[in-house]
Amino acid sequence: MFHCLQFSVDFPAKYQDWTATDPTDLFQAPIVKTESNPKAHIPRHLSQEARGCSHLVLWLDCDREGENICFEVIECTEFVVHDTRRKVHRARFSSVTEKDILKAMDNLVAPNKDEALAVDARQEIDLKVGVAFTRFQTSYFQGKYGNLDARVISYGPCQTPTLGFCVQRYLQITTFKPEKFWIVRPYILQGGYDLQLDWERGKLFDSEVAAMFQKLVMDDGFVKVTDMSEKQESKTRPSGLNTVNLLKVASSALGLGPQMAMQIAERLYTQGFISYPRTESTSYPLSFDFKGALGPLVKDPTCGPYVQQLLNSGHLKARQGTDAGDHPPITPMRLATEDMLGGDAWKLYQYICQHFIGTVSADCKYARTMVDFSVGGESFHCVGLRVIVKGFTAVMPWLAVNEKSLPQFSKGDKIKISKVELYEGYTTAPDYLSESELISLMEKHGIGTDASISVHINNICERNYVQVQGGRRLVPTELGICLIRGYQCIDPDLCLPDIRSFIEHQITLVAKGQADHSRVVHHVLLQFKQKYGYFVKQIENMDALFEAQFSPLADSGRVLSRCGKCLRYMKYISTQPSRLFCGTCEEVYYVPQRGAVKLYKELECPLDNFQLLLFSMAGPEGKTFPFCPYCYNNPPFEGIDTLFSAVKTGNSTTPGKGAGMPCFLCPHPTCRHSLISQGVCACPECHGTLVLDPVSAPKWRLSCNLCNCLVSLPHGAHRISTTKDRCPECDSTIIEVDFNKKTSPLKDGNTLHAGCILCDELLHSLIEMKHGKSFFRHRGGRGRGRGGRGGHRGRGRRGKTEDPKMSFRDF
DNA sequence: GCAAGGTC
């Protein structure tokens, strides 16, 4: 039985380069399914298992996601739906009990393609919308501000509305204007009690009027008992515990964040202490064995006696909740002690036990006594509370009714007022949104699921949009506030929770078979693409907020190295993501992350004249390698990305393997012995070895294995070799290039040409001398077409913008 | 470097 997705969607490699892809193109880009966990070889395993099988029975969660996985499995096993020889069956069940399983086995159905397609649709929409907006706003703002401290400025149809809730509360707080109010509070002494009476009018916002009422009451001096009543009320026991409620309690009462709470709950589950912790249901199935579940808890030292009492009473009935058809509520499965679990896990386990016992307990019953008074024409009252049956509050004492006893009164009594206070107070702003309130809001608006709510909250914390403060309240950061206020003034739809429900509603049409999958996806994406276009066009409105809050790149960072274009010094910005900024060219150059960057021997890259830098990875064993900031951002030849990603992940490429790629991680000569033999001559700038770049063969190029620079040879060169000749000017090796007749750029083709790669002018004259034409040229040379990263200019501005803040249209 | 959804 497979619960996890084997595949996830992504863009093909062509679209992975942020600089080479306009985000607006992502809306029409193809998508590919990739194995989520390639090392697990799940598709291979499924395919092997299915060999020779005549029937495939799919036992997966009975929801849309489960249906989607069904078709993944079908694909891996090479079964075909409706094939008469090898049959595909879907088991539909709502719980994993013997009865249910047998029933499902006897009633096998066909898998539901529409539901699976709805999931495909959601995946594609979420991917394209999220990635397009994220790439655009990340590039735009990172290219402008130095103290943003954000590796990525993400956007998503779940995370952004989640942030929206936090900022909405923040804005309520900041725009709140406290108001003064007054309350008339008479006090009486009766039967040994000093009672404060509550005013029917609550509070008044006019001090003169309030003072007038105070005078009326004082002038009268006696309260008269006008009525007395008692009625029985009850507090209902909780229904079964689902994930959302567990997370709320964990945050508000146990001080555990959702991420942490879920991790602990998962561990308790795998260790067998509790049932499956991801469930929406608060209702137990009718057949649920409460006696069996309570049994082990009898031995618990604290609630044991109460549980025994419950079992003895024989009256065990859980309150009806909602049955989402997924899993039963979270229930303790076996007894644990504090020593077995320790700390937070114990607290969470204890709560799960208390909640479960509460679920099968009686309701709490209590009597509410109300005494009404009149004085000077005004009405007052006081309330008494008396518990009749503790019920579930015995095991969940924090929910207990606070008893309040009252003295005896008789109707018509006249009692002397001891004093009349005119209480003066201020209305107060609400507090920051608590995590528990946020979870409630997310649940109410359908943002995220039981399994993903904690992830979204964690996301907005990690992205530095909000911070968790005391009492687990979420305080938005300047970045978070700017983002939401920006969406609000450009296109509020982007941060409203409706954006999620809109998507959900559209894909539900697919799930129900009422609309065609690809037409719905196209329809929804078209609308988002228009919104994207308008957002890009209006980004200055959001930028105005950023401008007021953050400092421009030019004012950030410290001077580090020289730019190869303008030859002025660039600044190194160390806040995430670390990068170089050339104030003159207004260009950003990213550098390898999580490490130190310093100048490398004041050497320059011969390709672009940028000063070389030395990167040292953090940690005692941190590797060190030199690099050119320009080449790092503008890979001079295909395949270099692989090298850089190796650098980023810390996996050195092994020399000798992988077509003899140079090792960028280790500039030490012994590490490149396999390359030395291919070496042509010394790099004129850093004296590393220039080697043939095997990636580009037969279009030969030379690359320096040390500073990463690259020298292009003319197209059609099919063999090059070094000569014994030295350049008279710089003493560099003279190289000979051989052309085919067909491919030669020169008229005389099929001849040997020679030149020095170092001395541009001499080279020129050498070649002109010999052949009348220069063919050694730095690839692209200065002022190449492709700009550095992060420059937002001219990017992503092709979206259509006719219909700015259009609201979503249903399919 | 990017979304949201699963999960062990």
Residues A211, A250, single domain; the answer is no
Instruction: Indicate whether A751 pLDDT > 50.
Output: no
Name every residue whose Cβ is closer than 8 Å to that of residue A164 and which is 6 or more positions away in sequence. Answer: A484, A487, A495, A496, A497
**Band (A50; pLDDT cuts 50, 70, 90):** confident
Verify if strand B has an atom below 7 Å from the CB of A530.
Answer: no
Q: Which of residues 214-273 of A touch strand B (CB under 7 A)?
A: 266, 269-270
Is A460 part of any domain? Answer: yes
**Band (A708; pLDDT cuts 50, 70, 90):** low
Which nucleotide lies nearest residue A151, CA to C1'? B1
Average pLDDT over chain A, rounded to an integer? 83
Last residue of a domain, one of A426, A461, A478: A426
Which nucleotide lies nearest residue A645, CA to C1'? B1
Residues A772, A685, single domain; the answer is yes
Verify if strand B has an atom below 7 Å from the CB of A131.
Answer: yes
* pLDDT value of residue A594: 80
**Band (A326; pLDDT cuts 50, 70, 90):** confident
Percent of chain A with pLDDT over 70: 78
Instruction: Indicate whether A559 pLDDT > 50.
Output: yes
| Through-space separation of residue A550 CA and nucleotide B5 C1' in angstroms | 35
Which nucleotide lies nearest residue A122, CA to C1'? B4
Verify if strand B has an atom below 7 Å from the CB of A18.
Answer: yes
Each residue of A125-169: pLDDT tens digit?
A: 999 999 999 999 999 999 899 998 899 999 999 999 999 999 999
Residues A449, A536, single domain; the answer is yes
What is the side-by-side strand order in the sheet with A364-375?
Answer: A193-196, A180-190, A414-426, A222-235, A364-375, A378-389, A198-199
Residues A507, A592, single domain; the answer is no
Verify if strand B has an atom below 7 Å from the CB of A151.
Answer: yes
Domain count, chain A: 6
Is A505 part of any domain? Answer: yes
Is A656 part of any domain? Answer: no
Q: Could you tell me the CATH number of the domain that includes residue A188?
A: 2.70.20.10
* pLDDT value of residue A714: 53
* C-alpha span between A484 and A690 (Å, rounded): 51
Each residue of A360-397: pLDDT tens digit?
A: 999 999 999 999 999 999 999 999 999 999 999 999 99
- Which ranges of A90-151 would DSSP assign to H, the alpha helix? 98-106, 113-142
Which nucleotide lies nearest residue A135, CA to C1'? B2
Percent of chain A with pLDDT over 90: 58
* CA A214 to centroid of chain Cα atoms: 56
Residues A146, A172, single domain; the answer is yes
Lowest-pLDDT range, A396-410, A574-588, A589-603, A747-761? A747-761
Is A2 part of any domain? Answer: no
Instruction: Indicate whether A508 pLDDT > 50.
Output: yes
* pLDDT value of residue A688: 60
Is A651 part of any domain? Answer: no
Query: Helix, strand or coil for residue A28?
Result: coil
* pLDDT value of residue A48: 87
Instruction: Indicate whether A245 pLDDT > 90.
Output: yes
Structural domain of A331: 243-361
For residue A286, give the amino acid letter.
Answer: L
Instruction: Indicate whether A808 pLDDT > 60.
Output: yes
Residues A526, A563, single domain; the answer is no
Lowest-pLDDT range, A243-257, A520-534, A639-653, A714-728? A639-653
For residue A530, give the amino acid letter.
Answer: Q
Length of chain A in terms of residues written: 811
* C-alpha span between A528 and A531 (Å, rounded): 5
Q: Could you tell me the CATH number of the domain that includes residue A112?
A: 3.40.50.140
Instruction: Indicate whether A575 pLDDT > 60.
Output: yes
* pLDDT value of residue A711: 61
| Through-space separation of residue A72 CA and nucleotide B3 C1' in angstroms | 20
Q: What share of chain A is helix, strand, coil (3-state, %, to 5)?
A: 35, 20, 40
Verify if strand B has an atom below 7 Å from the CB of A155.
Answer: yes
Last residue of a domain, one of A69, A87, A118: A118
Strands, E assignment, A405-552: 414-426, 433-434, 466-469, 473-476
Which nucleotide lies nearest residue A127, CA to C1'? B3
Q: Pick the closest to residue A237 from A273, A290, A287 (CA basis).
A: A290
Name every residue whose Cβ is closer than 8 Å to that of residue A548 and which is 6 or more positions away in sequence. Answer: none
Q: Which nucleotides of B are covered by protein (CB under 7 A)?
A: 1-8
Q: Which residues is A810 bridged to in the sheet?
A: none
Each residue of A462-482: pLDDT tens digit?
A: 999 999 999 999 999 999 999
| Through-space separation of residue A36 CA and nucleotide B8 C1' in angstroms | 14
The torsion of the CA quartet A693, A696, A699, A705, rounded to 10 degrees, works out to -20
User: What is chain A's alpha carbon radius of gyration, rounded to the nearest angstrom?
Assistant: 36
* C-alpha span between A70 and A67 (Å, rounded): 5
Residues A98, A169, single domain; the answer is no
Verify if strand B has an atom below 7 Å from the CB of A633.
Answer: no
Residues A682, A746, single domain; the answer is yes
Is A280 part of any domain? Answer: yes
Residues A90, A232, single domain; the answer is no
* C-alpha span between A124 and A742 (Å, rounded): 47
Residues A256, A346, single domain; the answer is yes
Verify if strand B has an atom below 7 Å from the CB of A68.
Answer: no
Which has more confidence, A4 or A190? A190
Is A520 part of any domain? Answer: yes
Residues A444, A419, single domain; the answer is no
Query: Helix, strand or coil for residue A718?
Result: strand
Is residue A426 flagged as an active site residue? no
| Through-space separation of residue A6 CA and nucleotide B6 C1' in angstroms | 9
For residue A654, give the amino acid letter.
Answer: T
Tokens 């306009």 found at: A22
Each residue of A656-694: pLDDT tens digit?
A: 333 233 333 333 333 332 222 235 555 555 666 565 554
**Band (A772; pLDDT cuts 50, 70, 90):** very low
> How many other CB atoms are found less than 10 A from the CB of residue A37?
12
Instruction: Indicate whether A255 pLDDT > 50.
Output: yes
Which has more confidence, A782 or A305? A305
* C-alpha span between A321 and A324 (Å, rounded): 10
Which nucleotide lies nearest residue A61, CA to C1'? B6
Verify if strand B has an atom below 7 Å from the CB of A276.
Answer: yes
Asked if residues A225 and A411 have their Cβ atoms less than 8 Å apart, the reply is yes
* pLDDT value of residue A554: 85
Verify if strand B has an atom below 7 Å from the CB of A135.
Answer: yes
Name every residue whose Cβ is closer than 8 Å to that of residue A514 and which is 6 or more positions away in sequence. Answer: none
Each residue of A17-49: pLDDT tens digit?
A: 999 999 999 999 999 999 888 888 888 888 888
Q: Which residues is A476 bridged to in the sheet?
A: A466
Residues A439, A523, single domain; the answer is yes
Verify if strand B has an atom below 7 Å from the CB of A516.
Answer: no
Query: Which residue has the closest alpha carbon to B4 C1'?
Result: A126
Each residue of A611-665: pLDDT tens digit?
A: 888 888 777 667 676 778 887 777 665 544 544 444 444 444 333 333 233 333 3
The residue-averaged pLDDT of A340-351 equals: 95
Catalytic residue, chosen from A269, A276, A423, A569, is A276
Tokens 């795998």 found at: A270
- Please state whether A292 falls in left (phi above 0), alpha (psi between -120 and 50) or beta: alpha
Q: ω into residue A577 within 30 of 0, thus cis? A: yes
Tokens 């690839």 found at: A779
Q: Which of residues 443-462 of A touch strand B (CB under 7 A)?
A: 448-452, 455-456, 459
Asked if residues A717 and A734 have their Cβ atoms less than 8 Å apart, the reply is no
Asked if residues A445 and A437 have their Cβ atoms less than 8 Å apart, the reply is no
Last residue of a domain, one of A426, A445, A475: A426
**A39, two tokens:** 């090392």
Is A807 part of any domain? Answer: no
Q: Could you tell me the CATH number of the domain that includes residue A157?
A: 1.10.460.10
The residue-averaged pLDDT of A230-242 equals: 96
Query: Which residue has the closest alpha carbon to B7 C1'?
Result: A4
| Through-space separation of residue A129 CA and nucleotide B1 C1' in angstroms | 16
Highest mean pLDDT among A323-327, A447-451, A593-597: A447-451
Verify if strand B has an atom below 7 Å from the CB of A154.
Answer: yes
* pLDDT value of residue A723: 62
**A280, two tokens:** 């929406």
- DSSP annotation of A473 reads E
**A108, two tokens:** 């096998």
Model pTM above 0.75: yes
Verify if strand B has an atom below 7 Å from the CB of A5.
Answer: yes
